[in-house]
Amino acid sequence: MPIGRDPSPVTRRLVKAPSRDTLSPRERAVTPTCEVAAFCFLLSAFCLSCGYQVAGRGERLPPDIKTIAVPIFVNQSQTFRIEQKLAAAIGHEFLERTKFQITTNPAAADAVLKGTVKDVRRGVVTYDLTTGRASSLQIQVMADVQLEDLHSKKVVYANPNFVFREEYQVNQVTSQLFEEDQAALDRLSRDVARTLVTELLENF
């Protein structure tokens, strides 16, 4: 290397750093600040490069996904037919709010929405003072949901802990329990479907 020319960037990294004993008081005061700044920069760059995925998050849908299959969910709860009503309500919600074609047959789709109703819980919120019967209930639905791209076999959305919680008034005219009232189950399924599809669309 010619004498008097500044070392190249690569060469500069190999030059031994001067000892603190040889630095002036001003240089000693500046050096720690520079070191801290450099460390913070490297730390922020590392954090930006190390993204992570949390439950209820998805990737942008590939453009070749035109048809989504919504087959009947698996039902692990004690609520009869909730899996059928929920799948039908989700399909209807997709048709109302998106341009996707909806089918129940995965073989005719580009992606499939799979779901498992893990539990349906209910708790009394208020009682009717005259009859002593429950007048309002809080219903909680827990599900495991994922959307799979059938072309790449890649899961593009997953939420193993989807939770829907809402309060409903109990029909005092009929003697049926909430879970036996078909109108009530239909309303519950529509509300769950609306919440789930909203979450899906917000992630895409």
Per-residue pLDDT of 58-71, as tens digits, reads 456 788 899 999 99
Both tokens of residue 38?
Answer: 């450099």
Averaged pLDDT, 164-170: 84
CB 152 within 8 A of CB 51: no
Over the stretch 114-152, which tens digit does the pLDDT of each residue have? 999 999 988 888 988 888 888 888 888 999 999 999 999
Over the stretch 19-58, which tens digit does the pLDDT of each residue have? 555 555 555 544 444 444 444 433 343 333 332 233 444 4
- Quote the CA–CA distance of 112 and 122 in Å, as a whole number: 30
Which residue type is seen at 84? Q
Buried b (16+ CB within 10 A) or exposed e, 129-146: eeeeebbebebebbbbbb
108: nearest Cα among 67, 62, 60, 48:
67
68: nearest Cα among 114, 116, 110:
110
More confident residue, 72 or 7: 72
Work out the angle at residue 46's Cα, subtended by the Cα atoms of residues 44 and 50, and round it to the nearest 5 degrees: 115
**What is residue 184's predicted lDDT score, i.e. its pLDDT?**
77
Radius of gyration of the chain (CA): 29
**Mean of per-residue pLDDT scores for the chain:** 75
Is pTM beyond 0.75? Reply is: no
68: nearest Cα among 40, 98, 32:
98
- Quote the CA–CA distance of 104 and 192 in Å, as a whole number: 18
For every residue of the chain, which 3-state class applies, written as one string? CCCCCCCCHHHHHHCCCCCHHHCCHHHHHHHHHHHHHHHHHHHHHHHHHCCCCCCCEECCCCCCCCEEECCCCEECCCCCCHHHHHHHHHHHHHHHHCCCEEECCHHHCCEEEEEEEEEEEEEEEEECCCCCCEEEEEEEEEEEEEEEECCCCEEEEEEEEEEEEEEEECCCCCCCCHHHCHHHHHHHHHHHHHHHHHHHHHCC
